[in-house]
Amino acid sequence: MLSTLVLVAVANTGGAGVVPDAVSRTAEALRDAALADDTAYRLVEDLTTEVGPRLAGTRQEARARRWAVAALKKLGFQNRQITVEPFRMRTWVRGAERAAIVAPFPQPLVVTALGRSGSTGPRGMKGEVVVFRTLDALERAPAKAVRQKLVYIGHAMPKTQDGSSYGYFGRARFVGPSIAAKKGAKGVLIRSVGTHSHRLPHTGVTSWPDDVAPIPAIAVSPPDADQIERIADRGGPLTVSMTVTPRIVGTTESGNVVVDIEGREAKDEIVIIGGHLDSWDLGTGAVDDGAGVAIAAGALNLIRKMKLQPRRTIRLVMWGAEEVGLEGAKAYAERHKAELDRHVLGSESDFGAERIFRIHAHVSARGDAVVDEMLRLLAPLGVAPGTRGPAYTGGAGPDLTPLVRAGLPRFRLAQDGRDYFELHHTPDDTFDKIDPAALAQNVAVHAVFVWLAANTDVDFRPRQAPSADLSK
């Protein structure tokens, strides 16, 4: 066991005095061990093979929780370190799904229902399609243009390295169907929110405000979207038939799996990492988000295996029911509301399995010195500085959103996302897509991150700016 008791007075130039030398040396040892360790890779293999798809609230997701507890114990975590925190949720499941162009050029379409889509009933529906190339065009359209019709939304998403285009272009899925429903449309087709040209549709949740009844909402594959747009360009009415029969099965159980390595001196202070255990049902949830779960578990396992005890508690959460609306995140925030301010720093891995290329950090000025030390240790792994301090206003992974809203300081360990939206929410999200070396790099970055964060007394919360407002 490496002793961290004698380090207090030892400063390190990289960490500007806030990261003791021996803490840095241990982080370096964890980094190197991570690069040579295949635990995370084996965990994703096991999860995607032995459980497979794990739609939120279903028996498959419950099997994933049991798998997780067994896998953690097999690694050597103790019963007392593992807690399953159940919660209840309204559960949606997929039914039949098919669609076709009826006129002017009859042919089948490759489609899938969006999460929380309404049902057409088994007999399906047929209608004239009103084509909108952008979400803005739909928003501007008068209700009479779409009433009792099917709405098609294009809004094609370009590729970006950091995946930031998803926020803007993903809106076609997040809010497009409810905007169409409010205007009286009877069904919606969207171009899949993806960046490839394969004939694979992308599912993903769509949201319905309380005053909007769900209507059938499907995604067509990118080449099918091109086809619809080409036919629309030729003019004349375009008619589509579609049958989707998803349903709400009622209230069922989901849960978060929480694993702690308890802190030595400040066990009430929590550094939180994780990924989400649920996945969409079309693939086996390898890059979304078996990888994230495995990366965080791989990092925590190295600390356990090296018998290291951090100063602060390191908590791994394998979140439940992320995909269908952050149900696990909300349940956690509710259950832990008395200790939300004791979560001192967090980051979630939920953007695939490619290498981390940049680190953003929303932390205090003293916390920034920890970021410097982290970057020094991770530069050999190709990790570059990102946005720092309060200037970083982005998130830290979807499941940390309620904690971030409550003031959680955060890191975004930003993965290369150029290929993420080729696979995301498609049947093609499978284990073979994961590169073991890239996954190990992620584990190394997480191990360094949690070790530095959990072995300093730095308060990462940015202080309020002085009252003088410099912008005036």
Interface residue list for Zn ion (CB under 5 A)? 288-289, 350
Cβ atoms 292, 348 nearer than 8 A:
yes
Q: Which is nearer to Zn ion, 260 or 323 (CB)?
A: 323
Distance CA 360, CA 456 (A): 19
Give the nearer residue to Zn ion in terms of CB position, either 293 or 448: 293
Distance CA(138)–CA(221), nearest Å, equals 20
As given in the structure block, the two tokens for residue 398 are 């979807």
Q: Please say which residue, 327 or 350, places its beta carbon nearer to Zn ion.
A: 350
Q: Return the number of the residue (313 or 349) whose C-beta is nearest Zn ion.
A: 349
State the minimum distance, in angstroms, from the CB of residue 78 to Zn ion.
29
Whose CA is closest to 204, among 256, 273, 278?
278
Identity of the residue, 61 or 350, whose beta carbon is nearer to Zn ion in the bound complex: 350
Q: Distance between CA 272 and CA 260 in Å, rounded?
A: 9
Classify each residue of 74-95 as buried b or exposed e, where b means 16 or more C-beta atoms within 10 Å of its C-beta.
ebebeeebbeebebebebbbbe
Complete edge-to-edge strand list for the sheet that includes strand 343-348 = 82-93, 247-261, 312-319, 266-276, 343-348, 410-415, 356-362, 384-388
Q: For residue 77, give both structure tokens.
A: 């975590």
Please identify, using beta-carbon distances, which residue of 56 and 359 lies nearer to Zn ion: 56
Strand 187-191, strand 150-153: pairing: parallel
Minimum separation from the CB atom of position 244 to Zn ion (A): 23
Task: Evaluate whether 337 touches 402 at the Cβ level (below 8 Å).
Answer: no
Least distance from C-beta 275 to Zn ion, angstroms?
8
Q: How far is the CB of 280 from Zn ion (least distance, A)?
A: 9
- Give the shortest CB-55-to-Zn ion separation in angstroms: 13
C-alpha separations of 6 from 2, 3, 9, 23, 433 in Å: 10, 7, 8, 10, 44
Q: Between 260 and 288, name the residue whose CB sits nearer to Zn ion.
A: 288
Q: Which of 429, 350, 432 is nearest to 396 (CA)?
A: 350
Locate the DSSP E strands across 186-311: 187-191, 217-220, 239-244, 247-261, 266-276
Which CB, 288 or 416, lies closer to Zn ion? 288
CB of 425 to Zn ion, least distance (A): 9
From CA 68, how far away is CA 319, in angstroms rounded? 11
- State the nearest-atom distance from the C-beta of 287 to Zn ion, in Å: 9
For 423, residues 6+ apart whose C-beta sits below 8 A from its C-beta are: 283, 287, 288, 352, 429, 433
CB of 416 to Zn ion, least distance (A): 16
Distance from C-alpha of 395 to C-alpha of 465, rounded to nearest angstrom? 20
Query: Which residue number, 152 or 420, has a Cβ lying nearer to Zn ion?
Result: 420
Q: From CA 74, how far away is CA 68, in angstroms rounded?
A: 10
CB of 91 to Zn ion, least distance (A): 18
Task: Find the shortest distance in angstroms from Cβ 203 to Zn ion.
Answer: 12
Query: Residue 109 — φ and ψ, nearest 5°?
Result: -115, 150
- Letter string b/e over residues 173-202, b meaning 16 or more CB atoms within 10 A of that residue's CB: bbbbbbbbbebebbbbbbbbbbbbeeebbb
Question: What is the closest distance, in whole angstroms, from the C-beta atom of residue 398 to Zn ion in the complex?
Answer: 7
Q: Helix 21-35 vs helix 291-305: angle between axes, to the nearest 10 degrees?
A: 120
Q: Which is nearer to Zn ion, 37 or 422 (CB)?
A: 422
> Which lies closer to Zn ion via its Cβ, residue 162 or residue 288?
288
Find, among 211, 138, 221, the residue nearest to 172 by Cα. Answer: 138
